[in-house]
Amino acid sequence: MSGLLIVNADDFGGNALANERIVECFAAGAITSTTAMVYMSHSEQAAELSRGSDLAIGLHLNLTQPFDGPSVPDEVRRRQARVSARLSKHRHRYVFDPALFGEVHKCIDDQLRRFVRLFGTPPTHLDGHNHGHLGLTALMALPRGIAVRTAESDVGAGPLGRVVRVGRHRLIAHRHATTDYFFAIERVRQARRPAQRDSLLALSRSATVEIMTHPDRDRDYALLSSETWLKALRELPTGSYAQLRERGGRTARQAVAQSLA
């Protein structure tokens, strides 16, 4: 597709401040979508706050932080804890673990089903808390066809790191709908000159770009609340992962619905 800028706020449902600021930023036009955590202490509040709004919501897959919600089924909690303990080890970012694959697949399914129960619809897309979805075992366990966040584009990596990022992006793009580029908002905030900042955002005029934000972090929130940011977004083609279609014409939501049937 032609240009599209997605400004996604992570950690919806992760804490009360994130919930409050994400809803505020969306209403102001500072973000275009969010990804929600399930089985966390503020997940139900996030679902309630989103009802009746046009906020596009994906799943912020949690494979790294223990669930702290009040009513997590014991089996679900234990499974996620086992997966988290294994995937937190550095080597699991780069190798495929066939012994863990089945449990990771069930853990992803647990969270997708909980998301649908909370929000009443499949997620627009999927990304990972602490980028946990990018480990090879997790990546191969994701439902084929769902829209997925890719790896960050060419950020502070040496030659080997760039090769890994490019290879991972190609794998994701082969199996899923994804964007051409993905950056954390720090790249925009740390631009030394307005021209550098504008060049990053201008990629979205001809390519698909996601910018990740965390509004509960004060530095992110300050930029999102600025008139400079709001003015820039008004001049760009903005939207959400709901506009990306998997090859063959299925939307990401249709792909998830089929996998959960």
> For position 130, which CATH number holds?
3.20.20.370
Which residues constitute the domain of residue 144?
Answer: 4-260
pLDDT digits (tens, 9 = 90+) for 35-66: 999 999 999 999 999 999 999 999 999 999 99
Residue 225 has pLDDT above 50, yes or no: yes
- What is the structure's pLDDT at 42? 97
> How many domains in the chain?
1
Q: For residue 197, name the pLDDT band (cuts at 50, 70, 90).
A: confident
The pLDDT mean for the chain works out to 89
Contact 4, 204 (CB under 8 A): yes
- What is the structure's pLDDT at 28? 97
Q: Which residue has the higher pLDDT, 261 or 68?
A: 68
Q: For residue 248, name the pLDDT band (cuts at 50, 70, 90).
A: very low
Q: What is the mean predicted confidence (pLDDT) over 176-181?
A: 93
- Residue 99 exposed, middle or buried by CB count within 10 Å (0-12, 13-18, 19+): exposed
- What is the structure's pLDDT at 87? 83
Judged by average pLDDT, the poorest of 10-24, 65-79, 161-175 is 161-175
Contact 111, 138 (CB under 8 A): no
